[in-house]
Structure 1
Amino acid sequence: MDTIYAQASASGRAGVAVVRLSGPAALAIAARIAGPLPKTRVAGLRSITDGAGNKIDQGLVLTFEAPNSFTGEDVVEFHLHGSIAVVRAVLTVLGQQENTRLAEPGEFTRRALENNRLDLPQVEGLADLLEAETEAQRKQALRVLSGHLGDLVEGWRTRLIRAAALIEATIDFADEDVPVDVTPEVSTLLSSVHNELAAEIAGSRVAERVRTGFEVAIVGAPNVGKSTLLNALAGREAAITSEIAGTTRDVIEVRMDLGGLPVTLLDTAGLRESDDTIESIGIKRAVERAERADLRLFIAEPGVDLLITPKTEDIIVRPKADLLTDPENAISGKTGIGVDAVITRIREILLSRYSDVGVATHARHREAMQNAAERLQSVYAALDHGPDRYDIAAEELRFAVRSLEALVGRIDVENLLDEIFTSFCLGK
């Protein structure tokens, strides 16, 4: 196996740059260019030299011996002065060593997966952590990276294997008197796993929204101040504002951090009946996007029909509070009246949903759990028919276990791995 290397810190000039080396020859190569190595996991100040013994830089060298490293292999990190020239020179020297090559995107993490240092959800959690923009995203990614989902799956898998073993024991001794009725224990095992799967599936949709961002659609008739409000919330001219009705023709998106939660605000076309073909397309898109949003903020006078029926938690406020003698439950993006109150209400609603967040954060996780849950339903149906269907029940249990194993990356995920690791940088 090749020894791989890459810059693990951001490219460009910086105070410190980190170059990582991993593989069977990592320690030997490091000793060749940095002299005697410090004890494992202890930083040592060393001079880094090129092949002719010329000094490139002086920096810290850290070693991590296999299997107690991130990748599970021997790993060396060089903490250098963050000069572009220094990093380039060190990478050049590493590339000149025998059986070394520049790492591919995500290859360090891929080796960690292959060496059982991480499971697949942890790899996805690491990718999410690197992409995290808000506090909620950071906390959620850390939960996944810490192995919570893998622990859950292992618990479910263990109980399902136990249930399958009990059922198969009954099949094996079908012609004899089995000393113990296994049905109560099997039922308990299946129901506990099924209930936990159902709860995690429900929470996964919120978790996925935390990862990708909640969508809040601003809905209203033309000229009620939707675009002005969006610009006020964004702190910039994200949308064109005009007194001419129908100015907004397409959905405009602004992403923001709302009290630690990732939120994408959607400015939609003014909702009304229109004979203008282009405006009608914009209105249709606005309705479709608003219906799919997690929350809708209606800016409208009481009794106005906006082609969309508000849902239970949707917020309804009156427009142009600056022109009203009584601005209660009204808003004005122009003057800021009512804006803070609306932001607080949006945040409270989304936080109430966040309290039900699960550990599973990707659609892939949810699909695997749904497949397992459906298999368990088939197990229940087979068991209800008595011992004649126990062989079918056992087979369905095996399929359920395989779905969970796919979730954590034990089987059938090679194509998925290629897709995941392309999102990583070279040094990760």
Structure 2
Amino acid sequence: MNNVFKMVKYFKYSRRCTYNLTNAAADCTIFSLSSGYGKCGVSVIRVSGPRTRHALQTLLGNRHELKARYAYLKSIYHPETKEIIDKGLVLWFPGPASFTGEDSCEFQIHGSLAVIAAMLDALGKVPGLRSATAGEFTKRAFYGGKIDLTEVEGLADLIHAETEAQRKQAMLQSAGALSRVYDNWRKRLIRCAAHLEAYIDFAEEENIEDDVVLHLTKELRHIITEIRNHLNDQRQGEMLRNGVRTAIVGPPNVDTAGLRKHTKDVVELEGISRAKECLHNADLILLLTDARELLRNISTYKQSAQDYQTDYLQELDLDANKLLGKRIQLIANKIDLLSMTELQKLAQIDNVLKITCKQPTTDIVQPFLRHFEKLLCELCGEPTAEHPRITHARYRQQLERCIEHIHIFLNEYAPDIFPDTAISAQKLRNALKCIERITGHVSSDDILDVVFKDFCIGK
């Protein structure tokens, strides 16, 4: 019984993706400047591929054998002129224990434009070497099975990170936080599919228990629950990665086109239409109002800030029901016009930020920015290794499709339905492929082109 399951699992599903290195043109050895281009103290030039050792011998000479992962101070020579180019540190990383999985090395040289140009020219003169294309080192690491596609995209995000929170999230993803979550689901789906295949192929001959389907359907429901919990993140990871789409709305002259119910002006109508479109696509809506008007409505009609906000949206010809689920922040402007008594009353109203655009002094702006920063932190959340966030819309789409395929399978296996088991098994394979498209175990050129398009040359 167990041997049958192991046999089916091994031959049909447990194959890890053995990446075809010919896709990365791995017969060539590539080189490039990996540090930033321009004058600097030290620049790093990276080489990767089967002729890396030959490149080292050509530029350093055959006098010394380099020990793996040790830094050596060496004179570097041009292979044609035999003139010394520079004196710098050289490191040798034999494959597969390297970033790309291939033989690799690094030259850490002085960062003048002349030294860099001479080094690149020297490497170009070594037979079998060529300049790397953008992202090619990372692509070779992916094809070599050193990292999966989520880690590749995490590395790209790390390169482009502009904030501390973005850096932290990208670092966690590049270190495999998301990969471990998805690989766990992948392995469990493989196990479920393998057990179902065994039930199809060997149920009669091997006397496999009928409750095997019952056990795997129970496991599939657990997987669905876990994926749904993962999806139910209010797009925090995507907002942190891409930025919070924010719309500032209100009457005329606050930011987007001023909103009001009655106008016949064609140009203004177009502006209002675009403002509303921006509003519905926004993650955060900053609703700007006059501070005195806010106080007057609350004191006269005994409204809460939430009641006033709903009425104010209606005045602006906005349907509050269509904005459900969006974060709306009420901001009271023109507080420089308020008396001390009015300021005290305004301070007692919860969930209202206060600002003046005419006299933005430090004692007004700083509290506003602190509250606004807190608001953004609440929207984006705090990235953690225990609960990594979805960072790309592509992941979300594939996870939703995965759930759909599992649901189809479970519905076909209702107690009163007797499905074609072989056809239903395909639904599990489709669910598995959805996960594998995220990690890159099932890859396509169009996905890879999107992933690697933003990488810089030398990475």
TM-score for both structures, normalised by structure 2: 0.79
User: For residues 291-342 of structure 1, what are the alpha-carbon distances to aligned partners after superposition, in whole Å with 9 as ceiling and x for unaligned?
Assistant: 2211111111345412233657412132211112223254212223754444
Corresponding residue of 1:288: 277
- Asked if 1:50 is matched to 2:50, the reply is no
**Is 2:116 the counterpart of 1:87?**
yes
How far apart are residue 286 of structure 1 and its match? Answer: 1.2
The alignment partner of 1:214 has SS state of: coil
- Quote the offset at 1:420 in angstroms: 2.3
Q: 1:81 to 1:175 in 2, by over 3 A?
A: closer
Residue by residue over 1:383-405, the C-alpha shift from the partner in whole angstroms, topping out at 9 and shown as x without a partner, is 11444343333211011111111
1:220·1:271 contact (CA, 8 Å) conserved in 2? Answer: yes
In 2, Cα distance between the equivalents of 1:112 and 1:173? 40
Q: Which amino acid aligns with 1:403?
A: C
- 1:249 match: none
CA distance in 1, matches of 2:216, 2:130: 52
Q: Please give the alpha-carbon distance, in whole angstroms, between the structure 1 residues aligned to 2:133 and 2:65.
A: 26
Amino acid at match of 1:294: D
Tell me which of 9, 28, 36 is aligned to 1:2.
28
Aligned equivalents of 1:346, 1:191: Cα separation in 2: 40
Q: Which amino acid aligns with 2:405?
A: R
**Segment of structure 1 superposing worse, 70-79 or 303-312:** 303-312
Give the match's secondary structure for 2:448.
Answer: helix
After alignment, is 45-54 or 180-189 more displaced? 180-189
Q: Does 1:416 align with 2:447?
A: yes
Of residues 314, 319, 327 in structure 1, which corresponds to 2:328?
Answer: 314
Give the root-mean-square deviation of aligned CA atoms: 2.2
The answer to whether structure 1 residue 99 and structure 2 residue 128 are counterparts is: yes
More helix by share: 2
Deviates more, 1:104-113 or 1:406-415: 406-415
Tell me which residue corresponds to 2:216. Answer: 186
Give the match for residue 120 of structure 1: 149
**How far does residue 368 in structure 1 lie from its aligned partner after superposition?**
1.2
Structure 1 CA distance, aligned partners of 2:268 and 2:153?
A: 41
Identity among equivalent positions (%) equals 38
Cα drift, residue 350 of structure 1? 3.1
Amino acid at match of 1:49: Y
Contact 2:68–2:91, Cα closer than 8 Å, also in 1: yes
Cα gap change, 1:334 to 1:34, in 2 (>3 Å): farther
Structure 1 counterpart of 2:419, which letter?
D
Q: Who is 1:148 aligned against?
A: 177
- Whole-Å separation in 2 of the counterparts to 1:271 and 1:18: 55
**Over alpha carbons, which structure has the higher Rg?**
2
TM-score, L = length of structure 1:
0.84
Contact 2:34 2:44 in 1 (8 A): yes
Once the two structures are superposed, the pairs formed by residues 313-332 of structure 1 within 5 Å of their partners are 313-325=327-339, 326-327=342-343, 328=346, 329=352, 330-332=354-356
Distance in 2 of aligned mates of 1:276 and 1:37: 80
Please tell me whether the aligned partners of residues 58 and 126 of structure 2 are also in contact (alpha carbons under 8 angstroms): no
Measure the CA separation in 2 of the matches of 1:37 and 1:90: 21
Find the counterpart in structure 2 of residue 395 from structure 1: 426
1:41 is aligned, of 69, 72, 81, to 69
Asked if the contact 1:222/1:269 (under 8 Å) is kept, the reply is yes
Hey, what does 1:63 align to over in structure 2? 92
**Corresponding residue of 1:268:** 256
- Residue aligning to 2:381: 355
C-alpha distance in 1 between matches for 2:94 and 2:443: 31
- Deviates further, 163-172 or 8-17: 163-172
- Specify every segment of 5 or more residues in structure 2 that has no aligned partner in the other structure, as ranges: 1-26, 295-310, 347-351
How far the C-alpha of 1:217 sits from its partner, in A, is: 1.6
Kindly provide the amino acid, as one letter, of the partner of residue 441 in structure 2: R
Alignment length, in residue pairs? 386
- CA distance in 2: counterparts of 1:24 and 1:55, whole angstroms: 25
Q: Does structure 1 conserve the Cα–Cα contact (< 8 Å) formed by 2:196 and 2:212?
A: yes
SS in 2 for 1:285: helix
Contact 1:107 1:426 in 2 (8 A): yes
Indicate the larger mover: 327-336 or 153-162. 327-336
Amino acid at match of 1:282: G
**Secondary structure of 1:344's partner?**
helix
Given candidates 278, 296, 299, the residue that maps to 2:288 is 299
How far, CA to CA, are the matches of 1:324 and 1:289 in structure 2? 32
Q: For the residues of structure 2 that align with 1:190 and 1:53, how far apart are their CA atoms?
A: 66
Indicate whether 1:170 and 2:226 are aligned: no
Please say if residues 92 and 104 of structure 2, whose CA atoms lie closer than 8 Å, have aligned partners that are also in contact.
Answer: yes
Q: CA 1:356 to 1:84, structure 2 compared with 1: closer, same or farther past 3 Å?
A: closer
Give CA-to-partner distance per residue, 1:36-89, whole Å, 9 cap, x none: 353111111011111232111111101111001111111110011100000000
Structure 1 residue identity aligned to 2:422: D
1:426 corresponding residue in structure 2 = 457
SS of the residue aligned with 2:333? coil
Whole-angstrom CA distance in 2 between matches of 1:400 and 1:143: 26
Report if the CA contact (8 A) 1:148-1:359 is conserved: no
